[in-house]
Amino acid sequence: MVFFFAKAKTVIVKAIHHRCGWLPVFLIAAIVLIFQAGVPIPALCAPLHGADSIHDVGDKLSLLWVIPFVGILLSISLGPLLLPRFWHSHFGKVSFFWAFLFALPFWYYYRDTAVYHILHIYLLDYFPFIILLWGLFTISGGILIKGSIKGTPLVNTIMLTIGTILASWVGTTGAAMVMIRPILRANHNREKKVHLMVFFIFLVANIGGALTPLGDPPLFLGFLHNVPFFWVTTALFPHMLFMVIFLLAVFYIMDTYYYRKEKDRLKKIGPLKQEPLRVEGIHNLFLLAGVVGMVLMSGNWKPGNFDVFGIHVQYQNLLRDVAIVSLGLISLATTSKGIREANEFGWFPIMEVAKLFAGIFVTIIPCLEILKAGADGALRPLIEVVRNPAHYFWVTGTLSAFLDNAPTYLTFFNLSLGKLGMTEAMIPAALAAGTVTANPQFISFLTAISAGAVFMGATTYIGNAPNFMVKSIAEESGINMPTFFGFLFKYSIPILCPGFVVLTLIFF
């Protein structure tokens, strides 16, 4: 005991001496968590626990282990709103702080099991996730739509529709990056543009990504956990179609109203300089097709696996990731600098994702393990409360709106598995509708979880990564975007929520 504290003190003093200001904070916080987690002080100095079975950790973990996960999600939600300058400079350190706060006690207490879980989630979830996002971001950042047309209600509706369709194939971030500037240019002379950006966030930055695992990060996480590539395409198509038609109709009515109100002013200003639309960097579309092909391949071809510290890494997944990186590098090498500059392409967004999700994926481990334990885990009350697809839709959705939708999806994905006593290996068979192995209950749960995570990510600026990006670009173009609560109360609740209620009544 004395030895432990003496050692800790030495490390802290050394860290301060070497100007590693954050390290002592991590250490202290980790020690606090060890005590909070109910570890008796002698246990800290006692011999390490024997290697627990990697599958039965969930039923042993208390809810205190979930604090870092909640902490990192709340930091991501509140940091940009409350402390934007601090957050912009230090989000990586905050992510590391929460990861460390969980990982250190977890490793101390569970040793091999902890190493296994952390390596497992990094190798099988984090790296493929980051590589896919990097690939889609890099390649779609090489596509530039030039020219400008007059932003009439019809033209705007068509452009939103194109963006919505594109989102499922290049990802919501990629589609937002490609489409936002043509829409802003087309509406340069318009006075009322806030509604246009709001519907852009609803459709292009969120709901449009519902049809493939490439569209929205939660769905790719589902794909990494054995959900077949085209399952979301068929399962979510009716839900997405309903929401898209509903939102486009509302948008068209609103845009027509504002357009008519300012028609006289627009006539006085004179016509916008129009240039025919043209796409530059079109070869990147073929590279995107390559990414789609590689992801599809990894879902269908099963050549076997190799072990990394006891973790089975599938050959096809390794091939997919290497191919995506190659396609991204080809895009970087073959796309002109001018295109990337016009798109304001930079590495910051992907760095943000990499740093923050490095923390999310570590801190989510106890949450996933507890949920996998089902009724034997500490989240039993949640499992009992969330019973039917409507519950899954609204609970996943509401949490996705205020926390990031990718970890929220993964949490409820595991909740449904735990509730039904299923393993990930059983998923493809369970989702094969119309076959004897199909599990209609799981199908309805997963449909609701997927729809909730993707659709309700649109409800706030913090629900999905591109939301803030669109807000930021719009503001830098001179649009007075609503505040966090303005967006929620003036647009999301009055427009999106009625759609979600009808969606629930029809489909769930």
Give the residues lining the site for another protein (CB under 8 A).
Answer: 76, 79-80, 84-85, 87-89, 91, 173, 177, 191-194, 265, 344-346, 348-349, 352-353, 356, 465-466, 468-469, 471-473, 475-480
The Cα 92–Cα 138 span in angstroms is 21
Structure tokens at 259: 């357009």
In this complex, which beta carbon is closest to another protein, that of residue 439 or of residue 467? 467
Structure tokens at 420: 């039904």
In this complex, which beta carbon is closest to another protein, that of residue 199 or of residue 394? 199
The Cα 402–Cα 392 span in angstroms is 16
In this complex, which beta carbon is closest to another protein, that of residue 435 or of residue 480? 480
In this complex, which beta carbon is closest to another protein, that of residue 223 or of residue 468? 468
SS (H, E, C) 293-327: HHHHHHHHCCCCEEEECCEEEEHHHHHHHHHHHHH
At closest approach, how far in Å is the CB of 352 from another protein?
4
Give the burial class of 194: count Cβ atoms within 10 A of its Cβ; 0-12 exposed, 13-18 middle, 19 or more buried: middle
At closest approach, how far in Å is the CB of 350 from another protein?
9
In this complex, which beta carbon is closest to another protein, that of residue 79 or of residue 281? 79
At closest approach, how far in Å is the CB of 481 from another protein?
9
Q: Which residue type does 327 have?
A: L
At closest approach, how far in Å is the CB of 475 from another protein?
4
At closest approach, how far in Å is the CB of 79 from another protein?
7
Return the number of other C-beta atoms located less than 10 Å from residue 267's C-beta: 9
At closest approach, how far in Å is the CB of 342 from another protein?
12
At closest approach, how far in Å is the CB of 87 from another protein?
5
> In 43-175, which ranges are E strands?
144-148
At closest approach, how far in Å is the CB of 346 from another protein?
4
In this complex, which beta carbon is closest to another protein, that of residue 262 or of residue 424? 262
How many CA atoms lie less than 13 Å away from 411 in the CB half-sphere? 28
Structure tokens at 164: 């919505």
In this complex, which beta carbon is closest to another protein, that of residue 421 or of residue 478? 478
In this complex, which beta carbon is closest to another protein, that of residue 91 or of residue 109? 91
Which residues on adjacent β-strands are paired with residue 305? 314
In this complex, which beta carbon is closest to another protein, that of residue 157 or of residue 477? 477
CA 9 vs CA 14, 31, 46, 106: distances in Å = 8, 12, 19, 20
Q: Which residue type does 174 have?
A: G
The Cα 61–Cα 155 span in angstroms is 55
| Crossing angle of the two packed helices 2-17 and 22-36, in degrees rounded to 10 | 150
Which residues on adjacent β-strands are paired with residue 176? none
At closest approach, how far in Å is the CB of 348 from another protein?
5
In this complex, which beta carbon is closest to another protein, that of residue 3 or of residue 348? 348
How many CA atoms lie less than 13 Å away from 234 in the CB half-sphere? 9
At closest approach, how far in Å is the CB of 355 from another protein?
9
SS3 content of the chain, % helix, strand, coil (to 5): 75, 5, 20
Helix (H) or strand (E) holding 53: none
At closest approach, how far in Å is the CB of 53 from another protein?
36
Q: Which residue type does 133 have?
A: L
Q: Is the dihedral of CA 32, 88, 456, 439 positive or negative?
A: negative
Cβ proximity of 205 and 113 under 8 Å: no
Helix (H) or strand (E) holding 40: none
In this complex, which beta carbon is closest to another protein, that of residue 114 or of residue 177? 177
